[in-house]
Amino acid sequence: MVLNVAIIGSGFAGLGAAIRLRQAGIDDLAIFERASDLGGTWRDNSYPGCRCDVASNLYSFSFAANPRWSNTFSYQPEIWRYLQDVASKYDLRPLIKFNHDVTDITFDTSANLWTITTSQGLYVARCVILATGGLAEPRLPEIAGIDTFEGPIMHTARWQTSLDLVGKRVAVIGTGASAIQTVPQIASIVGHLDVFQRTPSWVLPHQGHPVLERTKRLFAALPLAQKLNRAYGYWKRELLLLGFVKDPARMTRAETIAREHLERQVNDAELRAKLTPSYRLGCKRVLLSNDYYPALVRENVDLITQSIECVEPRGVRTSDGRLHECDVIIAATGFFVTDNPMGEKVHSTSGAPLSDAWRGNMAHYKGTMFPGFPNLFMLSGPNTSLGHSSIIFMLESQLNYVLSAIQRALSSNSLLEPTSEAAQRWTSSLQEKLPGTVWGTGCSSWYLNESGRNTTIWPDFTFKFRAQTRRFEPRDHVSTR
Ligand code: N01
């Protein structure tokens, strides 16, 4: 059977795509999911303390509000449950082919169809939506000798609940968003904790708090009240963009707040100095926490800032020659983002891998379509991530475009792809803008690819992206039958 649309991934993006397609009357869909359950990054990141740093009223589908969020900034179990509830409400489970790992997506020019190779066989589809996400492939650190470590090594995105950390000597490598959430949770149960920091993060006070029962009742009874709350949160975040994009010097005020936060929570001047970043706030992801610094000042916790020389069977050796013995290593070392292996599995009509778009060797159109990839769409594609607001808003914007394109492609039985000129115009305008933003102020981050080019971030107001993805623009595409 030829599918109308093959959706790869069952996280926020994949589920959102299936809902919108079905609402538009498009059937013969399948969602391919490599795991045995849905939820994407919110299924995989089950480490203790995992929480979203965007308020839940905004970090959820506009068409599926949840009046029962228990916290203004929800923890992972509740977000994952939300996705399960959405899948049930829209009856999506029958569409999902679980345990189907997609290994190749190639366009068959003789049949004008996409061939999707999975661990459980071949499928063909008229259109493909890649909803595989940017934070899907955990990156283990490349450290000499890491394979020789005698104990377990666990990435935060592959947390093993069966691994008992109580009383153990634990090393956490990395101090990004995942580390600062999990360190406070495990610090009180482990015997000793060494936190290996390569670059300090800017940490702002967390504003999250439990939602009052009466607020939940209000949101349930009066959906407009929740919509207004969402709109308020949205516009407050849009204003932040002035600092991120228009004038990074505006970040000075937030830097002062972060420094005061650090001073309030850490008395030791030497430790404070180690924790003070030397780059502009916002250049790397801004972190929110009220319990990370207090965890670091605990008796049983050490912040190690000497660089890691190697890993040995009994622990981590730093450049000062010291061996930090440990029983378990936790890698909070992030993800393959600009070098996501998925990009190598998808090929254009001429055989070029989609990963070229992240490398900066291939222009993209609205982060969603690519010349040479007819009827193929990517959600959370190049330059659609954000440093200041909710990625769900961007996803829903992309879905407007994707839906309008797929309706046209299916109804006219045609193949649509952006012209090289339109894609080049789009990509060049972003690349002209990005160096002047906070992400171009000279730090290393997962927003930048190997050559330092930012192929990740959308450098403008999100409402501008919404306006530009409102509907399919025929003049920017070639259509063939
Ligand atoms: O990963 P990261 P993450 N030796 O890449 C260090 C989302 N997220 O999983 O900064 C030593 O940010 C690396 O050091 P440096 C969110 O978008 C959201 O924490 O490169 N250290 C860094 O400290 C987030 O931004 C939430 O010098 C090494 C850390 O590891 C994104 O996921 C929660 C190393 C990696 O930090 C990724 O966050 C969790 C090495 N060889 C995740 N290699 C929320 O919503 C890497 N590092 C709050």
Per-residue model confidence (pLDDT) at position 427: 97
Instruction: Tell me the HSE value of 9 on the side-chain side, using a 13 A CA sphere.
Output: 26
pLDDT at 119: 98
Q: What's the pLDDT at 423?
A: 97
Instruction: Please report, rounded to a whole number, the percentage of residues in the chain having pLDDT higher than 70.
Output: 100
139 lines ligand 1 (CB under 6 A): no
Check residue 51 and report its DSSP letter: B
Strand-strand pairing, 346-347 and 102-108 = parallel
Q: Ligand 1 centre from 387 Cα, in Å?
A: 14
Query: Residue 330: pLDDT band by 50, 70, 90 thresholds?
Result: very high
Tell me the per-residue pLDDT of 266-307, one tens digit each, with 9 for 90 and over.
Answer: 999 999 999 999 999 999 999 999 999 999 999 999 999 999
Q: Assess whether the C-beta atom of 203 lies below 6 angstroms from ligand 1.
A: no
380 bridge partner residues: none
Ligand 1 centre to CA of 34 (Å) is 24
Binned at pLDDT 50, 70 and 90, residue 359 comes out as confident
Mean pLDDT, residues 159-165: 96
How far does the centroid of ligand 1 lie from the alpha carbon of residue 290, in Å? 18
Handedness of CA 383, 387, 388, 391 (dihedral sign): positive
Ligand 1 centroid from CA 375, angstroms: 34
pLDDT at 80: 98
3-state secondary structure of 454: strand
The Cα 151–Cα 171 span in angstroms is 11
Residue with CA at minimum distance from ligand 1 atom 6:
174
Q: If you compute the radius of gyration of the chain from its CA atoms, what whole number of angstroms results?
A: 23
Confidence band, pLDDT 50/70/90 cuts, at residue 237: very high
Q: Which residue has a Cα nearest atom 7 of ligand 1?
A: 177
Backbone φ/ψ region at 190: left (φ over 0), alpha (ψ -120 to 50), beta = beta
pLDDT at 361 over 90: no
Closest to 414 (Cα-Cα) out of 128, 17, 127, 23: 127
**The pLDDT of residue 57:** 97
pLDDT at residue 107, as a whole number: 96
Q: What is the pLDDT of residue 246?
A: 87
- SS3 call for 422: helix
Task: Point out the ligand 1 atom lying closest to the alpha carbon of residue 142.
Answer: 41
Instruction: Tell me the average pLDDT across 372-376.
Output: 97
Domains of the chain: 2-38+92-137+336-480 (3.50.50.60), 146-201+240-331 (3.50.50.60)
- pLDDT digit string, tens, across residues 120-151: 999 999 999 999 999 999 999 999 999 999 99
Query: What percentage of the chain reaches a pLDDT higher than 90?
Result: 96
Per-residue pLDDT band for 403 (boundaries 50, 70, 90) equals very high
Q: Which two tokens stand for residue 8?
A: 């790869």
Protein residue closest via CA to atom 5 of ligand 1: 334
Report the range of poorest mean pLDDT among 142-156, 262-276, 341-355. Answer: 341-355
Model confidence band, residue 238 (pLDDT cutoffs 50, 70, 90): very high
Cα angle 88-93-96, degrees, rounded to a multiple of 5: 150
The CB of 173 under 6 Å from ligand 1? The reply is: yes
* Closest Cα to atom 16 of ligand 1: 177
Residue 360 confidence (pLDDT)? 84
Token pair, residue 294, equals 């207090």
Atom of ligand 1 nearest to the CA of 143: 41
Residue 289, ligand 1, Cβ within 6 A: no
- Out of 182, 333, 339, 392, give the residue to mutate to test ligand 1, the one with the largest number of ligand atoms within 8 Å of its CB: 333
Distance from Cα 317 to the centre of ligand 1, integer Å: 21
- Please tell me the predicted confidence (pLDDT) of residue 358: 87
Q: Would you tell me the crossing angle of helices 12-23 and 76-89 to the nearest 10 degrees?
A: 20
**Measured from the CB, is residue 177 less than 6 Å from ligand 1?**
yes
**Alpha carbon of 227 to ligand 1 centroid (Å):** 32
Range of weakest confidence among 25-34, 94-103, 209-218, 356-365: 356-365
**Where does residue 25 rank: exposed (0-12), middle (13-18), buried (19+ CB within 10 A)?**
exposed
**pLDDT confidence bin for 481, thresholds 50/70/90:** confident
Tens-digit pLDDT profile for residues 405-443: 999 999 999 999 999 999 999 999 999 999 999 999 999
pLDDT at 234 over 90: yes
Full DSSP string of 431-442: HHHGGGSGGGSS
Confidence class for position 357, pLDDT limits 50, 70, 90: confident
Q: Is the pLDDT of residue 155 over 90?
A: yes
Stretch 83-106: mean pLDDT: 98
**Tell me, what DSSP letter sits at residue 335?**
B
